[in-house]
Each structure stands twice: as C-alpha cells, then as structure tokens.
C-alpha cells in the first residue's frame, strides 16, 4: 500500500532541504530527542542508520536508497518486520518556499491494514509537518537546534 502525506510548505530552499535530508549524519542533531527506552545501539553514518528498536529484538536499518538533487530522497529499510520504503519529495515554488510531500510504501498484510491504515496516514502527515519546520539553512551552516 502507498500512503502519501498532505503537502507542506517550508521556508527553506529545496537545495538546503535536500542537503540535510540526503545525509543521515544530520540525525546526530536530534539524537537527544530519541527516547532511549525505545531505541538503543544507534549507529549513524552518512548513508545509513541502524538501531535496535525495543520489542523487535534485532537491529533495523534505514538507508539512502536513491536521491536526486533538490527533488527527492528515497530511503529503504532493512530487517524490518514489514517491507517498506519512504521518499521525501521537494519542489521549490519560490524563494525560501519549498513544498514537501512524504510517501510511504509498505507491504502490510491485509488483515492488519484496517488497524494501522489511519495511524500510518496520520504519522506521515505529522512527519511532513515536522519536516517543514526544520531549520535547514542553519543546519547546513553547522548550527544546532
């Protein structure tokens, strides 16, 4: 199934958004916000992040699968109980006005779809809203939040 977020607007350039989102090392900037009781053994590199998620028993990974400068970053997931991938599209419509859309594709078994569909849709809409608020230009300059 494919789930698409609503389109959000960021006050950053597509270039700044792309530069931050295409380098997973930037997750270090929000590491302190990640709940340690839910995620352990966090490994962060430029093209991948691996972590042990409480309740899964194995490390799962998020990696940059594909990217096109200033347009899209596509992420894959490894060792997930549900095969999925996600991509973030960006389209600059004006100076410091870039639209963002998040798409999640997940192979959810039919019997579970009704239980998780609304939560997944709400989650990707929240992700798009959150991504629109990041201070991309400051992060590009090496500043932290």
**pLDDT tier for residue 30 given thresholds of 50, 70 and 90:** confident
How far is it, in rounded angstroms, from Cα 82 to Cα 94? 38
What is the per-residue pLDDT for 143? Answer: 59
| pLDDT for res 82 | 87
Residue 131's CB is within 10 A of a number of other CB atoms, namely 21
Give the tens place of pLDDT for each residue, 86-111.
Answer: 999 999 999 889 999 999 999 998 88
Q: Tell the burial category of 63 from Cβ atoms under 10 Å away from its Cβ (0-12, 13-18, 19+).
A: middle
Please tell me the pTM assigned to this model: 0.87
Looking at the chain, how many residues does it have? 145
Q: List domains and CATH numbers for the chain.
A: 2-140 (3.30.530.20)
The residue assigned the tokens 């991309």 is 136
pLDDT score for 144: 53
Encode pLDDT of 55-70 as tens digits: 877 899 999 999 999 9
């Amino acid at each position: 199934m494919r789930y698409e977020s609503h389109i959000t607007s960021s006050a950053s350039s597509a270039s700044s958004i792309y530069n931050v989102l295409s380098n997973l090392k930037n997750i270090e900037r929000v590491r302190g916000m990640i709940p340690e009781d839910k995620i352990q053994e966090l490994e962060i590199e430029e093209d991948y992040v691996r972590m042990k998620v409480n309740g899964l028993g194995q490390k799962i990974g998020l990696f940059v699968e594909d990217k096109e400068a200033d347009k899209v970053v596509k992420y894959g997931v490894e060792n997930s109980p549900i095969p999925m991938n996600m991509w973030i599209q960006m389209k600059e419509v004006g100076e410091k006005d870039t639209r963002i859309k998040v798409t999640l594709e997940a192979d959810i078994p039919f019997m579970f779809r009704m239980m998780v569909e609304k939560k997944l849709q709400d989650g990707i809409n929240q992700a798009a809203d959150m991504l629109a608020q990041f201070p991309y230009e400051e992060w590009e300059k090496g500043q932290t939040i």
